[in-house]
Structure 1
Amino acid sequence: MTDGHASSLETGDATALPEDVDDVRDALVSWYEADHRDFPWRRTDDPYEILVSEVMSQQTQLGRVVEAWEDFLDEWPTAADLAAADRSDVVSFWSGHSLGYNNRAKYLHEATRQVIEEYDGEFPRSPDELSELMGVGPYTANAVASFAFNNGDAVVDTNVKRVLHRAFAEIHNADDPDYETVANTLMPPGESRIWNNAIMELGGVACGKKPRCDEASCPWREWCHAYQTGDFTAPDVPTQPSFEGSRRQFRGRVVRLLGEHDEMDLDTLGHRIRVDYTPDGEHGREWLRGLLSDLADDGLVQIEEGNDQTIARLQ
């Protein structure tokens, strides 16, 4: 926030907030409640449904996640249903809906088994406890705690960092900004559900890489350092490696094909996943064995070596 408002964040003291911090908070929450993107997982506080949405959203644009999320819950409506499912079916669904790294499907499946077997079917409620679930990192654990139980810390993702960097002059000018402390101090106590949804919405709708301050009626224009100075620089946003032609793409093709067939031999599989496959070529048996070995290490594929051929199948 700019120096035009008294007691703005002091450099080196991330816990000091503007004197009118309540107005800053109220403006954001009111803006969010008046109009926001209506994703279906925002209408539930079921931790299982929220966990599924969070895991899916790690690799896929939110608009594309909606259909996959709804289809997934049609197939496995509860954590118990998913825990009882065959892992190969879950992985095949994941690959068929182009949801990114297939080991996320494996981890999600294992996490629900933990909930059923270790927590008597009840999801843990705190970020630390949720982090004990397979494949659930600190960000996802905090998101589930926030949106399911209103029991989380402030979410700090790329969008939130961009918002804080632009809004606070002290964050903007710091060599090593303490985003987490600022975000948690700014968040109203005990309001992680509404606050995290609101500030993430701000970063996704009004304060993107190309800001839309006036078009989106950004509620922080009155206080925002970037809006008042015209300096909309922000931390670099990492770019995802190209999916087309990547190992990730071919891993997905392997899993999808093995989900459609009980098993496939090496050369049949190779010819099906890429048009330039030649057994002794650059993208031949040695390349494919490496791909299958990676998938086997992830617990997704089983490889059986015979006298005259290699057979692959889903675990």
Structure 2
Amino acid sequence: MSDQSDHLPADADLGRVREALVEWYEAGHREFPWRRTDDAYRILVSEVMSQQTQLSRVEEAYADFLDRWPTVADLAAADRGEVVAFWSDHSLGYNNRATYLHEAAGQVVDEYGGEFPDSPAELEELMGVGPYTANAVASFAFDNGNAVVDTNVKRVLYRAIAEIRNTEDPPYEEIANALMPSGESRIWNNAIMELGGVACQKTPRCDEEGCPWREWCHAYQTGDFTAPDVPTQPSFEGSRRQFRGRVVRALGEYDELPLSKLGPRVRVDYGGDTGEAWLRELVADLADDGLVDAEERDGETHVRLTR
């Protein structure tokens, strides 16, 4: 990509886009045990288990697996049939993944002296480790990977960046790598995957989860939340989510506004049944979600984004 910001909206600053996502992630994200370690073995186990299994099931199986085989050497020395039986008993998908994981452990012990290689290219030499898994282990264990591009990340990029929709073969990896800060693959990949898993789900929760990219996101601005794995467009025009988004955008532009000036910026027909009482309720919902603060001052209610 000739310019890292080529695919962002014209008014988007790449530094702010990056900072907003990382700050959102660090402020509060889902806790998984594999996010609390940089041990390559443990991360590889979590990645293989997660390939076609719900994360709620993976957590229990992951803990049980590591209790039984806590190190790569333990797994390499294990009986392969026991590993496969464990996989089957915990409903972790195709049993050949257990076979490959056991074989990969043996490679690490025999060929690398028990120490995992730290680059995606070398990690791909391990049995059953494809480009995605190799990059994930390199990123999360060694902070030495490229941008991870899974279904969640594709959904985020497709919705956020308008130009992606206009090509038959979107350059997801190119764009994802251009967005990622150099040398920060661990936190960046965790953050953008979390964004797709929490806020930018198939049914979006932009305001509810305080999506940090609402200011720049094409889908949020237009209401078109289609994506590669979301073929039908959710109803948006005239929805409460649409007006919540307009409140947030107006406050992002003006910093703070009284209700009397905020209302007309939220809807052109402000007044009557959609007047101050309606707007107060909308603002109260946003305040309950921790997105805005409202303060009575000089006889008016002033609203601003939570800082």
- From 28, 32, 36, give the equivalent of 1:39: 32
TM-score for both structures, normalised by structure 2: 0.72
Structure 1 residue 173, shift from structure 2 partner: 2.2
Counterpart in the other structure of 1:55: 48
The residue number in structure 1 matching 2:116 is: 123
Are 1:87 and 2:85 matched, yes or no?
no
2:182 maps to 189
Of residues 215, 235, 239 in structure 2, which corresponds to 1:222? 215
CA distance in 1, matches of 2:20, 2:60: 32
Asked if 1:145 corresponds to 2:138, the answer is yes
SS in structure 2 at match of 1:141? helix
Give the fraction of aligned pairs with identical amino acids, expressed as a percent. 76
> Counterparts of 1:41 and 1:206 in 2: how far apart (Å)?
21
Report the secondary structure of 1:213's partner residue. coil
Q: Give the partner amino acid of 1:189.
A: S
Aligned to 1:30: 23
**Quick one: which of 57, 63, 78 aligns to 1:64?**
57
> Are 1:167 and 1:223, in contact at CA under 8 Å, matched by a contact in 2?
yes
- What amino acid maps onto 2:155 in structure 1? R
- Checking the alignment, whether the CA contact within 8 Å between 1:15 and 1:181 is kept in structure 2 is no
Quote the residue 2:195 is aligned against.
202
Instruction: State how far apart, in whole Å, the 1-side matches of 2:183 and 2:9 are.
Output: 19
* Correspondences of 1:108-119 after superposition (within 5 Å): 108-119=101-112
Helix, strand or coil: the match of 1:77? Answer: coil
The letter of the residue matching 1:217 is G
Q: Tell me the equivalent position of 1:175.
A: 168
Q: CA deviation at 1:63?
A: 1.2
**Structure 2 unaligned residues grouped into runs of 5+:** 232-307
CA drift at 1:179? 0.3
Alpha carbons of 1:39 and 1:217: their partners in 2 closer, same or farther (altered >3 Å)?
same
Moved over 6 A (4+): 15-18
| Matching residue within 79, 90, 102 for 2:95 | 102
The TM-score normalised by the length of structure 1 is 0.70
> How much has 1:172 moved relative to structure 2?
2.1
> Take 1:32 and 1:25, find their aligned partners in 2: how far apart are those partners?
11
- Matched to 2:208, the amino acid is E
Distance 2:179 2:96 in 1: 35
C-alpha distance in 2 between matches for 1:133 and 1:190: 24
Q: Spell out, residue by residue over 1:95-115, the C-alpha distance to the aligned partner (whole angstroms, 9 max, x if none).
A: 000000000000000000000
- State the structure with bigger RCO (CA 8 A, min sep 6), 1 or 2: 1
TM-superposed deviation, 1:59: 1.4
Are the aligned partners of 2:155 and 2:229 in contact in 1 as well (CA < 8 Å)? Answer: no
Q: Which of 145, 158, 169 matches 2:151?
A: 158
Q: CA deviation at 1:174?
A: 2.0
